Amino acid sequence: MIKNMKLKITIIAVLFAGSLYYLWPTFYLARMSPEKLKVMRLSDPQGLKDLEERSIKLGLDLQGGMHLVLELDQSKIKMGEKEGADAIDRALEIIRTRVDQFGVSEPLIQKAGDERIIVELAGVVDTARARALVEQSAYLEFKLCKPQSEFLDVLAQADEVIRENDLYLLEQEKQQAATPAEEKKGESGEEFNPMELFNENKPDSGKTAVPQDSAQRDSLKADSTAADTSAAVKESAMTGENRKPLSRLMFQESLNQPGARRESELLVPVNNIALVSAYLAMPEVQQVVSLAEVNNQVDYLRYHSPDEGDEADTLEVLWGDDDTNFIGPNGVEYKRIFLMKKKPEMTGGFLADANATLGSGYDPKTANKPLVLMQLTGEGADSFETITERFIQRDLAIVLDKIVKFAPRIMSRIPGGHAQIEGVPTMEKARDLSIVLRAGALPAPLTIAESRTIGPSLGADSIRKGSLSATISFLIVVIFMVIYYRFGGLVANVALVFNMILILAALAGFNATLTLPGIAGLILTIGMAVDANVLIFERIREELRSGKTLRAAIDAGYDRAFSTILDSNLTTFITAVVLFQFGTGPIKGFAVTLSIGLAASMYTAINVTRVIFDLWTSRKNVKSIAL
């Protein structure tokens, strides 16, 4: 044991300060009003996400939600052995894509063996929607992306509609919209230049972007109407940004930054996604986007199947997959967003197969680099040849359930029904993309083998009753210890409070999930924590009755009780490990809380109380204590 008293006190102080640091996000969120939470969800979603990630998470039984175990019917797979082997991966990709559109924070989607998928959706209680989620066929489409210039024109029209109809979502925007543009310049009188965020086009930077070859220049041109998250909120430094409520939330990548690919996309800082989505969901904005194609003749050469007419296509805005997010040189994460036709050029029904491979030969663009090889059906080959001939140097998005998975560029006419997708960054990404391409429909029916739904009111009631039980048990233990052990009881109660703080901080620090059985484990830990002190105090009493001095009795009491406390906690910890290894979700929650509680109670009961006793008895003329 550590003999240096200053070191002991320092360790306790550090643990206490660290615990408060980890618990602060939980307390901050708990005290936040619904109105403030709603505003923060729009104005600073990334900050809210960070708070939620650092706070104690509640299980389905406490916050409500749905637990599903999906089973893949392998007998219905009408494929060869190779295709059947990855059926569960294809189903997993489809389910993950659909669940991402729920807007559920941190959904759990994982494989359980070769035939089952576990899905947990916290806060989602719509059983009918969940069943539709897993039972409908996936919809794979190939859609032609609009050029960036046309996307910007559409955004300008949307900005005008928002201004004219006063559709600003944030109160700050409304106030700024009423402020003259001259008052929005910075103190120096200069306008904000978004390129400064990338240290380009600065008068004093001394840096010039060096153009690369066309294969590497997969980036977006800079535009003075765009700004990243940090700049978007600095409205006082911008001129006229209040007149661009939607387009100002998007940023176009500066030249020659690695990772950006196409000139058909815009980049949205992740902190602006919620606000951009809210604007795009407005009926007035949707109408502007949908009808923007009516007067545009550029893409009227689109390939039409015999049963289609020649009417102008309507447009839609789709988000890129999270896996394709781009990290800018300023450290900000961006999500890709595209403007494209609602009507696809092709559907997944024209695709026969897709596989990931490494390129061969001497071409530096493809040699030893990940590729995705596609094979189309007979009808699909004819359609694809026509499309690729007419839209060379345009981006053709691969869209699964309204999410853009990839947007490769058409480099040349592709006859014969065999095509390859280049520019995939890693072999793992290539495999994922091949799975997406093969996921035109669920490979076999998914049945719900198990379903549990917890209503939000029931979850809130569980929290209330669980918290009440923990509070009552805590107070009973505190009162008993003070009455029976007097000063020793006060010391044990201080250690008990510290013990509870350590447990909750550990749950937040390790991103553990607190469940109803977890609360039971917390209550059990309260009793076990004071049990160690009871053993110590009884030993000290025995030593005092034998005639030893107070200091000697305390030393002997702690030394002789240690082995008993260690054995008791060790056997309980072994049980908790077994429960965690072989138990299901709720049982694991109990095991995690109990294990953390055992470690915390061992430290507080033996070390924290000992420090308090040593400090108290080190005072002069202290010959006895009420114990």
Fold of the CATH domain 5-36+455-617: Multidrug efflux transporter AcrB transmembrane fold (1.20.1640)
Residue 258 to residue 328: CA distance in whole angstroms: 9
Other CB atoms within 10 Å distance of the CB of residue 116: 16
**pLDDT of 374:** 84
- What whole-number distance in Å separates Cα of residue 205 and Cα of residue 207? 5
Query: Has this prediction a pTM greater than 0.75?
Result: no
Answer for the pair 88, 72: CB distance below 8 angstroms, yes or no.
Answer: yes
Angle, to 10 degrees, between the axis of helix 87-100 and the axis of helix 127-135? 140
Q: What is the 3-state secondary structure (H, E, C) of 371-424?
A: EEEEEECHHHHHHHHHHHHHCCCCEEEEEECCEEEECCECCCCCCCCEEEECCC
Distances (CA, A) of 535 to 477, 489, 531, 532, 540: 15, 12, 6, 5, 9
Task: List b or e across 502-516, with b for residues whose CB sees 16 or more CB atoms inside 10 angstroms.
Answer: bbbbbbbbeebbbbb
What's residue 198's pLDDT?
35
Parallel/antiparallel/unpaired status of strands 326-327 and 396-400: unpaired
- Cα separation, 575 vs 220, in Å, equals 57
- Nearest 5°: phi and psi at 358? -100, 135
Q: Which pLDDT belongs to residue 529?
A: 82
* pLDDT score at 437: 75
**pLDDT value of position 218:** 33
The answer to whether 200 and 234 are in contact (CB under 8 A) is no
CA–CA separation, 577 and 264 (whole Å) = 53
Nearest of 328, 461, 346, 332 to residue 397 by alpha carbon? 346
CATH class entry, domain 66-138+442-454 = alpha beta
The radius of gyration of the chain's CA atoms, rounded to the nearest angstrom, is: 31
Query: Could you give the 3-state DSSP secondary structure of residue 317?
Result: strand
CA distance 594 to 569: 10
Mean pLDDT by 10 residues, the chain (627 residues): 74 92 89 81 79 82 79 66 64 75 69 81 68 65 85 88 85 65 44 37 34 30 34 40 78 49 77 89 88 53 44 80 79 87 82 82 75 84 86 85 84 84 80 73 71 70 80 88 89 91 90 81 83 89 86 88 88 89 77 88 89 82 72
pLDDT (0 to 100) of residue 369: 83
Q: In this structure, what token pair is assigned to residue 512?
A: 């553990």
Residues 6+ apart with CB under 8 A from 583: 590, 591
CA–CA separation, 97 vs 103, rounded Å? 11
Looking at residue 277, its amino acid is S
Domain spans of the chain? 5-36+455-617, 66-138+442-454, 143-438
Beta-sheet strand order (sheet of 65-72): 108-112, 116-122, 65-72, 446-454
Reported as half-sphere exposure (CB side, CA atoms, 13 A), residue 523 has a value of 17
Tell me the β-bridge partners of 450: 69
Contact at 8 Å (CB) between 219 and 253?
yes
Tokens of 64: 């409500």
